Amino acid sequence: MMIEIQHLSKYYGSFHVLQDINLTIQEGELVALLGPSGSGKTTLLRVIAGLEIADEGIVVCNGEDLTHVHVQDRQVGFVFQHYALFKHMTVFENVAFGLKARKKKWRPSPVEIKEKVQTLLELVKMQEFSSRYPSQLSGGQRQRIALARALAVEPKILLLDEPFGALDAKVRKELRRWLRRLHDEFKITSIFVTHDQEEALDVADRIVIMNQGKIEQIGTPQDIYEQPASSFVYDFLGNVNLFHGRLREGKLDIGAAQFSVADDHHPFDIETVGYVRPHHLMISRQKTEQDTITARISHLHTVGPIVHVELKREETQEYLEAQMSVEQFHALQLRIGETVYVSPQQVKVFIPSDFVI
Residues 75, 209, single domain; the answer is yes
Domain stop point among 175, 200, 235: 235
Q: Are 18 and 55 in contact (CB under 8 A)?
A: no
Domain stop point among 168, 200, 235: 235
User: Structural domain of residue 187, as residue ranges?
Assistant: 3-235
**For residue range 112-150, what is the model confidence (pLDDT) as tens digits?**
999 999 998 988 888 999 999 999 998 888 888 988 888
Q: Are 344 and 243 in contact (CB under 8 A)?
A: yes
Which 8-state DSSP code applies to residue 43? H
Counting as low any pLDDT under 70, the low residues of the chain are 83, 166, 264-266, 353-357
Residues 186, 260, single domain; the answer is no
pLDDT of residue 266: 67
pLDDT of residue 275: 94
**For residue range 94-106, what is the model confidence (pLDDT) as tens digits?**
999 988 888 888 8
Residues 176, 230, single domain; the answer is yes
Is 356 domain-assigned?
A: no
pLDDT of residue 112: 93
Total domain count for the chain? 2
Residues 199, 278, single domain; the answer is no
Residues 206, 288, single domain; the answer is no
Q: Which CATH number goes with the domain that contains 252?
A: 2.40.50.100
Q: Are 252 and 243 in contact (CB under 8 A)?
A: yes
Q: Which CATH number goes with the domain that contains 205?
A: 3.40.50.300
Residues 122, 261, single domain; the answer is no
Domain stop point among 185, 211, 235: 235
Q: Helix, strand, coil: what percent of the chain each, to 5?
A: 30, 35, 35
Residues 204, 278, single domain; the answer is no
